[in-house]
């Protein structure tokens, strides 16, 4: 008899207490997961989409490393936030689309593949626009 944990089913949920985007601006974070779906508030952006992000607030060392659990997952506080930013949504979609090509190039050079998550980034606000750096 199989155990449920052995079946490779992963819940498609974001965990963590909600946090406002304003509290993330200018702060280096790890994005562990995103879910992009139709918005509940049509007309707020041009794409008609919203993105929920699971961020992990970690203490980065000077060398860029961060503490990890024994299983390799980041050791930090998990928070979730929503955004309707077409720029951020588009950036994640482009990154997802570009990753296979990037990894193919890396493989041809004998480099290990990149994974989209966790993604080390800082979210900045430039005027009314949000961007990943």
pLDDT tens-digit map of 74-119? 999 999 999 999 999 999 999 999 999 999 999 999 999 999 999 9
Percent of the chain with pLDDT over 90: 83
pLDDT given at position 11: 73
120 pLDDT band, cuts 50/70/90, is: very high
Give the integer Cα–Cα distance in Å for 45 and 76.
32
What's phi and psi for 21, nearest 5 deg?
-55, -35
Q: Which two tokens stand for residue 38?
A: 């139709």
Burial code (b: 16+ CB inside 10 Å, e: under 16) for 76-92 equals bebbbbbbbbbebbebb
Q: Is the pLDDT of residue 2 over 90?
A: no
Give the integer Cα–Cα distance in Å for 35 and 52.
5
């Amino acid at each position: 008899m199989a155990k449920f944990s052995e079946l490779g089913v992963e819940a498609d949920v974001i965990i963590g207490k909600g946090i406002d985007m304003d509290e993330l601006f200018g702060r280096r974070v790890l994005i562990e997961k995103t879910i992009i779906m139709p918005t509940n508030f049509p007309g707020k952006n041009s794409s008609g989409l919203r993105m929920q992000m699971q961020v992990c607030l970690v203490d980065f060392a000077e060398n860029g490393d961060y503490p990890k659990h024994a299983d390799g997952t980041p050791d930090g506080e998990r928070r979730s936030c929503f955004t309707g930013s077409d720029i951020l949504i588009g950036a994640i979609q482009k990154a997802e689309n570009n990753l296979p090509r990037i990894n193919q190039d890396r493989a041809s050079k004998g480099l290990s593949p990149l994974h989209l998550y966790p993604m080390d980034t800082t979210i900045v606000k430039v005027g009314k626009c949000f961007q990943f750096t």
